[in-house]
Amino acid sequence: MHAAEREQLILRLVHERGFIGVRELDHRVDASPATLRRDLERLETEGRLIRVRGGARLTEAEEAAASEGRAATPVHGNIGRRVAQKTAIGRVAAALCSPGEAVVIDGGSTTLQMCPHLAPLGLQVLTNSLHVVNALLPQPNTRITLPGGQVFREQSIVLSAFEEDGAGRFHGARVFIGAQAVGQRGVMQNDVLLIQSKRRLLQRADEIVLLVDSSKFAAPAGQVLCPLEQVGILVTDDGVSDASAQAVERAGVKLIVTPA
């Protein structure tokens, strides 16, 4: 098992329980005790867990993030978290757009940070997010398309129960999406409604651009939205670990890291 795989497995086990014992790690992770000690030391140095007698536990910040993930926090509840990182990611993502092109923007607190930088570009934007619509409305040169369907207030999205939602003829150069977590299994989301919504948007563009702050690499896993190999570009902040960055690049994804 490679170091990146061990790291993700250790973090997943710690996130699932809040604490993991050394003996259980020894049974669950294919590595020697000395290697596991080095892994734990490295993860503690990176601030991703805290070593305690007999094992390791989450940091207070990661415990809060895990609790938020398990509770499926609505988008508006995440807007005020990790603002510097998300602002930097949104600025870089907006720079990937060319004037006049068609793009798809998924709902999310990170994709939302693209919107202030799009006004000069005169884009055609398909989105199912009411937050994104609200941010783009003051931009007279940005054309906005919404799919038909029902408004789900908690997620602030529009979602149709039918395959035909009125957006079938829209096709963009790229789709910008967020995620609940990123790991070995791919791009993860823990809300079934959001999974359904995001998968429809993925069909509307040539390239997937994933926008995630660095905390998402250690977040609790959920359901797989798509394999990581399906992503064209991943934009994150400079808090991403070397192991996570290398895993992304091994999947053939172009990685863009921006200072927070």
Cα–Cα distance, 33 to 72 (Å, whole number): 35
Q: What share of the chain is helix, strand, coil (3-state, %, to 5)?
A: 40, 25, 35
Q: Would you say residue 141 has pLDDT above 90?
A: yes
Is the CATH number of domain 75-258 3.40.50.300?
no
User: What is the tens place of the pLDDT at every residue in 117-140?
Assistant: 999 999 999 999 999 999 999 999
The residue-averaged pLDDT of 158-187 equals 84
Instruction: Work out the mean pLDDT of the chain and round it to a whole number.
Output: 84
Domain ranges of the chain: 3-58, 75-258
> Taking residues 7-15, what's their average pLDDT?
77
Q: So what's the pLDDT on residue 72?
A: 43
| Rounded alpha-carbon distances, angstroms, from residue 258 to 146, 176, 187, 188, 216 | 30, 17, 20, 22, 15
Answer yes or no: CATH 1.10.10.10 is held by domain 3-58: yes
Q: Please determine whether the domains at 3-58 and 75-258 fall in the same fold group of CATH.
A: no
- Work out whether the CA dihedral 129, 134, 136, 141 comes out positive or negative: positive
Average pLDDT over residues 187-197: 79
Query: pLDDT tens-digit profile of 238-260?
Result: 999 999 999 999 999 999 999 97
